[in-house]
Amino acid sequence: MNCIIIDDEQTARAIISQLCSETNDLNVVEEFSNALQAIKYLNQHEIDLIFLDIHMPDFTGFDFIETLKKPPKIILTTSDDHFAIQAFEYECIVDYLLKPVTPERFKKAIHKVAGEINILNNKDGVQNFDSNSAHDLYVNIDRRLIKIDIQKICLVEAKGDYINIKTETDSFRVHSSLKKIKEKLPEQLFVKVHRSFIINIEKIIDIEDNSVLINKDVIPVSRSNRSDLMKRLNLL
């Protein structure tokens, strides 16, 4: 991701720049001490992300955002926590970092940005990020990326343009398809039993005729998928 930093404090710019240099796939292309210089740059260049201070001499961060016709993703950086609610009225603002910015908090913010850009590019609400998160699934709900432990997923049900992901304790409605999430789930654990259902075979309580019981949900098993399900079970 190509990014720019806008902050009137040189030390603040240096800290963000250093954190960016320590993050894979994050490239600082320019730094600006005032918003007017940044506006001129953005009129001629496209970028993926802006680190934006709220309090600046010529423009506030919010004034700056209002000048942009198609703003990229923005992470606000500020020592003032009074603008958090106002910040999230803007769809382009992904996160709100309080100074001094810690590496751990910075990583979380970048993770959110990466998720939103991936979701925008793929037009899908389900993402795996890297090999270190092979046991986790991130779903986009109300502009928040929520992590789900894959092994705790009991079933996935398709409902129109959405899927309903159920764990033992929660349910998540996500804009995606059964086909898309099937690609993200480990084959040894999950099986499609119906055109509208994928189940975790370790969560099956019992099987009767053309249905399986998972928690309190009775899931239909289609005739075409039954043989595949039975092959996956450890039968005596």
Tell how far CA 26 is from the center of its chain. 17
Tell the CATH topology of 131-232. Answer: OB fold (Dihydrolipoamide Acetyltransferase, E2P) (2.40.50)
Which residue stretches of the chain are H helix?
Answer: 10-21, 35-42, 61-67, 84-87, 103-122, 178-184, 223-232
- Output the tens digit of pLDDT for each of the chain's 236 residues: 899 999 999 999 999 999 999 988 889 999 999 888 999 999 999 999 999 999 887 778 999 999 998 899 999 998 887 877 778 788 889 899 999 999 999 998 998 887 666 544 544 556 554 434 457 888 887 767 788 999 999 999 999 889 999 998 999 999 889 998 998 888 889 999 999 999 999 999 999 889 999 988 999 999 999 988 998 887 76
What superfamily would CATH give domain 2-122?
Response regulator (3.40.50.2300)
Whether the Cβ atoms of residue 74 and residue 93 lie closer than 8 Å to each other: yes
What pTM, to 2 d.p., does this model score? 0.53
Contacts of 54 (CB under 8 A, 6+ apart): 60, 61, 62, 76, 77, 78, 80, 83
Contacts of 133 (CB under 8 A, 6+ apart): none
Rounded to a whole number of angstroms, the CA Rg of the chain reads: 23
CB atoms within 10 A of CB 33: 18
Burial of 183 (0-12, 13-18, 19+ CB in 10 A): exposed
- From-to residues of CATH 3.40.50.2300 in the chain: 2-122
Pairing of strands 2-6, 49-53: parallel
- pLDDT at residue number 49: 95
- From-to residues of CATH 2.40.50.1020 in the chain: 131-232
